[in-house]
A and B are shown apart, each in its own frame.
Chain A
């Protein structure tokens, strides 16, 4: 790790993320970490543990649940929160429960809007967090490349890409009025490869769905969707076949495509990632709704 007083790129990224987290905790009254259970969240949680070591991170984990996450994700979430010693806040949009929302029935756009975007805004209004950590990275998507590390949101949780505060050196301006908040992205400068390499080096626990195993999947519009429970419509479930698959990204099970893969170890996952020819968000059905769709969602308040 320490080589002639030079830090490797991963150690520099680690130090930068820790700096950001400590800065937020020092300057904000009521911070929280948005925990999506995916690999980026796992790295972010690990960095939070390191930043405040030997104390546990002094803020809660928050999960905006859509009721459609993979069951293994939920088990993993509950176990990790206990292990780390942090409070876990779970919020589900009650309107979604009332209408019995289903991506199969209502489509991905409405489901995402109600359960993720609306659910997130409700959660922020209820708990009045003034800073929320998110695990987004700038290399994920083009509109993310311009996002600041401290991303300012008005009291309606909206992002204005034309009116971002300039961000110089490692000096972050967290000043805000009551009701306004900041989304903080401590992993901004990490790439997908950095994330995997760090998980590998630090042996960070991740949801088993990232590793290849035999799972029941159906084909929906060219995408492999795993049968995670009985809520998948009967006629679809009938077509399920057992395949050796894994996931490159995790979300709601009906909206997350599996890939056929034999990678059962971290090094095999990294190997596959380096040799692959498609980007990770390709497995996400919500991005392809319409051109520039991520930018539209973000202006409306999506993370």
Chain B
């Protein structure tokens, strides 16, 4: 933001106008202990002038005491937080960093590269759109590169930036860069969802700043853009927003301040909705129409009760809104409101990918709490299809899961829920597993497939209708809307 200092100093109002309309990009950085990950983040913060003088003074002092750069400014110390970690010289948990440019605000999930902390990487990747995978130019593609790439791909990032770091230590060799790029390209076909991911390769030196914020004169052969520019321009459109039909609204909270008002609050997980749209409540299958869409507003207490509410004709993901319906239908927390023209499957049997995050192993048939979107129910794992070795991508047969295991399983719930595959929607296709005794979060799951068979037996209106029935139904809905006949087509 330093190049905007003039504007800030001379015309703050214009600057603020510009900055109202910034986008937001969440990213994750992955690398091994010595790949220079903390140094890269420190560099991004430092070069985007997000470091204040007093913080800089503190790390200058620390650099002399515990720094690894021989008393030189150790940018890694900016991001290595907790005391115990600083002493060990490694980061041990997920930390979040922030910086911004004129165009975007960035949230970085900084996760450790140690093998036993796979769970932290999954945590950081769960909200990220983009991953920076760091590779030490001297080492090339290592086992941990394969592991990190697999995990972030599995968790649904859409952009992978392969940053080949420490180029200064290999004389900025184009040949070395191309070799590593070629090696990396070979592992792409094995990555989950790789056809949905864009891949970029950058030669950088986090320590000296080459190609981080500015293009480096040390790599004239590199024809791409610097990392910061890439982060500023990469596409961050929510893919779910454009698909209007796929409206998904997990009901969080029923807002009922008095008898005349009953609103259903929640965050739109996908798609968009307009007033008057026909909606279906799942899992009950009841239908009604949207009466109003209430935006988050500030109550004017003077006209309490009689005030005109702040509403919109249309809303889209990821807005937090409150809906009211035309009819009084039974809707409670944990239900999902969807548009009737695009129903998700409803089932109690799910094919899932699990990341196990606890020292307590996952055992088949053991009962767990499952929290998915805003609903909590009980469930157990019926079967482990296979476990993935994240280093070799091999599939293994196992009977239980241990900390940091990733496996394909069949999950059976005690009642049906509406769900989407994770690749279609992160927020209606994910869940966490909670220990019923300790209440700890044991694992995270991604829905691969919602079984059709169980759905048939559970949804009364899901049988195959004849053409005559469909036409009759359409006739009734068109000419006798007051009958409130459901749509079976």
Which residue of the partner chain, among A54, A145, A146, A200, contacts B294 with CB atoms under 8 Å?
A54
19 inter-chain pairs at a CB distance below 8 angstroms, sorted by A residue, are: A7-B24, A8-B20, A8-B22, A8-B24, A15-B267, A15-B318, A22-B265, A49-B298, A54-B299, A142-B81, A168-B444, A175-B439, A176-B439, A191-B100, A194-B105, A267-B16, A268-B12, A271-B9, A292-B82
Q: Is the CB of B23 within 8 A of A8?
A: yes
B192 to chain A, nearest CB (A): 16
- Distance in angstroms from A140 CB to nearest chain B CB is 11
Of A169, A191, A295, the contact of B430 (CB 8 Å cutoff): A169
Q: Would you call the interface of chain B mostly helix, strand, loop, or mixed?
A: mixed
Please tell me if the beta carbons of A175 and B369 are within 8 angstroms of each other in the complex: yes
Q: Are B430 and A146 in contact (CB under 8 A)?
A: no
The segment out of B214-222, B249-257, B280-288 that lies at the interface is B249-257
Please indicate the chain A residues that have their CB under 8 angstroms from the CB of B312 in the complex.
2
Q: How far is the CB of B235 from chain A (nearest CB, A)?
A: 11
Q: Does B226 contact A (CB under 8 A)?
A: no
Interface residues of B (CB under 8 A from A): 1, 5, 8-9, 12-13, 15-16, 19-24, 52-55, 79-83, 86, 92-98, 100, 104-105, 107, 110, 119-120, 122-123, 126-127, 237-238, 241-242, 252-253, 255-257, 261, 265-267, 272, 294, 296-299, 301, 307, 309-310, 312, 316, 318-320, 322, 333, 357, 369, 371-374, 426-427, 430-432, 434, 439-441, 444
Out of B54, B105, B123, which one reaches A279, CB within 8 Å?
B54
Task: Name B426's closest neighbour in chain A (CB-CB).
Answer: A169
CB–CB B119/A166 < 8 A: yes
Contact partner of B440 (CB less than 8 A), chosen from A8, A83, A165, A271, is A165
Given A9-B23, A166-B123, A54 and B309 contact (CB-CB distance below 8 Å): yes
Asked whether A5 lies within 8 Å of B123 as measured between CB atoms, the reply is: no
A171 contacts B by Cβ under 8 Å: yes
Partner of A275, one of B9, B296, B318: B9
Given A22-B265, A278-B54, are A168 and B430 neighbors across the interface (CB < 8 Å)?
yes
Pairwise interchain contact A7-B81, C-beta atoms closer than 8 A: no
A9 touches B22 (CB 8 A): yes
Task: Give chain B residues whose Cβ lies under 8 Å from the Cβ of A282.
Answer: 52, 54
Q: Which residues of A contact B80 (CB under 8 A)?
A: 142
Q: Is the CB of B431 within 8 A of A278?
A: no
Q: Residue among A7, A14, A53 with the most chain B CB within 10 A?
A: A53
Specify the chain A residue showing the minimal Cβ separation from B298.
A49
Residue pair B19, A197 in contact (C-beta under 8 Å): yes
CB closest chain-B residue, reference A141:
B81
Known contacts A53-B298, A166-B119, A295 near B83 by CB under 8 Å: yes
Whether the Cβ atoms of B309 and A19 lie closer than 8 Å is: no
Given that A173-B432, A278-B53 are known contacts, is A54 also in contact with B426, CB under 8 Å in the complex?
no
Find chain A residues with CB under 8 A from B333 CB: 26
A14 with B296, Cβ < 8 A, contacts A9-B22, A139-B98 known: yes
Tell me the minimal C-beta distance from A145 to chain B in angstroms. Answer: 4
